Structure 1
Amino acid sequence: MGKDLVLKTLRHDTVNEVPWVPFSGVHAGFLKGYTAREVLTDGDKLFDSLMEVNKIYTPDGMPIIFDLQIEAEILGCELLWAEDNPPSVMSHPYAGELEVPCKCKIPKATDGRIPMVLDVMKRVKAEIGDNTALYGLVCGPVTLASHIRGSQFFMDIVMYPEYVKELVGFCAEVCNAMSTYYIEAGMDIIAVVDPLISQISPKSIESLFLEPFQAVFDLIKSKGALSCFFVCGDATPQIEVMCRTNPDGISIDENINIYEAKKITDQYNITIGGNIPLTTTLLFGNQQDNMKFIVDMLDNIEHHNLIISPGCDMPYNVPIDNTVATIQAIKQTENVRKMIENYEAVDEDIPVDLPDYETLTKPLIEIFTLDSATCAACTYMVKGIMLAEEEFGDRVEIKEYKYTNKLDIARTKKMGVKHLPSTYINGKLQWSSIIPSKQELIEVVGRCL
């Protein structure tokens, strides 16, 4: 039974196959013809979509909702909604003074969209909860702190560490409250989703955030549920300190070499999940590409303490056939290996003209992202870099290239970008998976004028 397979894997027991957990997110709505906004705000449409995921994709485990803005919205953030993506945070209520929300601001089970989510969780639990492991996803404390504080949060880490500890401590209490609501609604696993951890130095995580994360995972454990720590972006340097927060599992995306990361997680006896590429394979690849990726992964990695999943929330319009091919490769690996034994992937030859960086009349700042509309780390990278426009106006030029666009993928490859998000100035890498402070940004750009 799929549920037992996931739970045993997260408990580090020996199992006879690798579990499959699709992070279907707003893609669940795509299966039923609903927009992202509809599936994230209408309980009946969300429930219908989740039942479709369960029917078509036969998951061993699955999340109920993948939206890191539920808590932020309740805390006063204004959201920008999209038809094919989760909403993004547009305003930051604590962007002014160094202020921490009072404990009375911790969301109640009756606030915002929480009642809708809890109702759907209970309905899904009753319908398929005996056979499928159910994930409740909460916004991690660092990402939530950046939602309510804004891009200034990254400067705060350097300039006001005591304030940051207090703010993240509050956000950890929000995580605890949300985790409690979701566990009481029947969730087997609580995933603390904190994409911005990849943008924070391991030293800062250890000194400022280690204890709050440990408290969150301890709370989840004390209530009899299992836990996962989700991260996006190149969190390779952060994996070891993430392990020390004591989750049952860690889930990563394609920016991280899962083979090397698993060597670290295995030292801590932590399950690792991931990391099917979201765009190049799931969205833009074909069935053979997806089959080959899975077979190659399974052939080159030790299966104990392993869950296979997309690298993060699946793009809205991933072809159903591609996901089905992925499932076949996971569940019928030997048969699929024979089907693709002579298959060679072919890269699309999309011509890309790079600027002549030596003759530019003003600094060109190029931001390479997964997609700032859907990736929180990318959102705050773009917002941080756009401060250069506020400072220098039309004396600089800023462009974003998204890995959800085929032409931009080709450009990213031609530039040799290794990690997303990354920022280049005049064709030279300046920041890789690190969001600069406003002061550093202005100093660096100013030298290019």
Structure 2
Amino acid sequence: MKRNMKQWAYDYIHAPEKKAMPILSFPGVQIIGHTVDQLVRSGELQAQCMQAVSERFDTGAAFSLMDLSVEAEAFGAPVCYSEDDVPTVHGILIHDEEEAEALKIPEVGAGRTGECVEGIRKACERIRNKPVLAGIIGPYSLAGRLLDMSEIMLLCFDEPEMVEMILEKATAFLIQYAKAFKEAGANGICMAEPAAGLLSPALMDEFSTPYVQKVREAVEDENFIFMYHNCGNISPLLDRIRALDMQAYSIGNAVDVEKVLKVIPEDRIVIGNIDPAGTIRSGTPEKIRKETLELLNRCGKYPNFVISSGCDIPPAAPLENIQAFFDAVKEYYTR
């Protein structure tokens, strides 16, 4: 459903009661009765999963899967699958400059990208009462999965031209992928660029920000929001994060989200940052209630703060734990 996302963001910031906006998709397999392996390969199941989560929990937005192996696999990277866990890139695709030069930019539809786009198309047909946000990896994080995350850090110093060559190709693909999500009906994308959290401010300026902005400029408009997600330790990068000038930010639990709120302007949404694994996946309902209320009591005074998970909630997170999170949010706002 098409909607003015600038107005949606404005209304959300100014609403006295804000619905939680966790990055919640994979646990929906427990509701629809399928494995993660089946889910990540089927657009129909992804739409069913998003719809089931949207109907079960009172979320402010419907997020698609945060599967950071999809785009790398489309380029040819080997991926390891599991019945009950999120796929991961396994092995290095590009070993040298010759392979970097030979790297072909895939078409949207390669690997599982076509299923992901179809999943968004079907989800948008079924979820009409809230924005639907498609998940996409960031350029530097994608390049790191093609080169190896440790290797790319060294190459930024030793062979920056090679890194930039791969970033250009990654960005060209991500622009087309983001456009496909937009054409499928998504109200925006949530770009996960966690690897940029490992960079110095200067390296972020060189190897992440310009490429992120190219994708953003290609798709963002009043009907399509661009949310920037970084679950790394961005404390040394807060000035750079602010300079991105995004309409919405998703902040991981590696940092104190209040420090981010003190830097980001009040007219930009900041969502975060209950630990998705340590608390929501592995904690008790009592622990979840305590931490959620503590974070809301501390950060609810910021009008642009929206309670969320710090990253994608794992598939095996107990549904009663997820419900405890939403119950705590309701408790806070009904006081």
TM-score with structure 1 setting the length: 0.69
Gapped runs of 5+ residues in structure 1? 338-449
Q: Distance in 2 between matches of 1:312 and 1:125?
A: 22
Trace 1:254-293 onto structure 2 (pairs within 5 A): 254-266=253-265, 269-293=267-291
Cα distance in 1 between the residues matched to 2:226 and 2:5: 15
Query: CA distance change for structure 1 residues 100 and 12 in 2, over 3 Å: closer, same or farther?
Result: farther
- Go from structure 1 to structure 2 and tell me whether the alpha carbon gap of 1:185 and 1:172 turns closer, same or farther (over 3 Å shift): same
Q: Which amino acid aligns with 1:83?
A: E
1:73 aligned residue:
73
Ranges in structure 2 where 5+ consecutive residues have no aligned partner: none
Output one character per residue of 1:212-265: Cα deviation in whole Å (capped at 9) or x when no partner: 222222222248411111112212112321222232111111111001111111
Contact 2:64 2:134 (C-alpha < 8 Å) held by counterparts = yes
Structure 2 Cα separation of the partners of residues 11 and 210 of structure 1: 28
Structure 1 contact 291–325 (Cα < 8 Å) conserved: yes
Residue 312 (structure 1) aligns with = 311
What CA deviation, in whole Å up to 9, does each residue of 1:67-104 have, x standing for no partner?
A: 1111111101010111222111112221233553568x
Alignment correspondent of 1:88: 88
Partner Cα separation in structure 1 for residue 215 and residue 43 of structure 2: 27
Distance of aligned partners of 1:13 and 1:233 in 2 relative to their CA distance in 1, 3 Å threshold: closer
Whole-angstrom CA distance in 2 between matches of 1:210 and 1:255: 20
In structure 2, give the amino acid aligned to 1:118: V
How much identity, in percent, do the aligned residues show?
21
SS of structure 2 residue aligned to 1:148: helix
Change (3 A) 1:19 1:261: same
Structure 1 residue 208 corresponds to structure 2 residue 238: no
Higher radius of gyration, 1 or 2: 1
How far off is 1:205 after superposition?
0.8
CA contact (8 A) 1:81 1:87 kept: yes
Alignment check: 8 A CA contact 1:198 1:234 kept:
yes
Shift in alpha-carbon separation, 1:220–1:242, aligned structure 2, 3 A: farther
1:180: Cα distance to partner?
0.4
**Cα RMSD over matched residues?**
2.4
CA offset at residue 120 of structure 1?
1.8
TM-score, normalised to structure 2, is 0.90
**8 Å contact from structure 1 (residues 8, 15) kept in 2:** no
Structure 1 segments of 4+ aligned residues over 4 angstroms from their partners: 3-7, 10-13
- Could you tell me whether the CA contact under 8 Å between 1:6 and 1:19 is conserved in 2? no
The AA in structure 2 aligned to 1:36 is V
Q: In 1, are the aligned partners of 2:85 and 2:315 still within 8 Å (CA)?
A: yes
SS at 2:272 equivalent: strand
> For residues 326 and 277 of structure 1, do their structure 2 counterparts lie closer, same or farther at Cα, with a shift above 3 Å needed?
same
Change (3 A) 1:79 1:208: closer
Question: Cα gap change, 1:96/1:27 in structure 2, threshold over 3 Å: closer, same or farther?
Answer: same
SS in 2 for 1:255: coil
Question: What is residue 324 of structure 1 aligned with on the other side?
Answer: 323
**Partner SS, residue 250 of structure 1:** strand
* In 2, Cα distance between equivalents of 1:12 and 1:58: 15
Distance in 1 between residues matched to 2:7 and 2:35, nearest whole Å: 32
Equivalents in 1 of 2:160, 2:222: separation in Å? 31
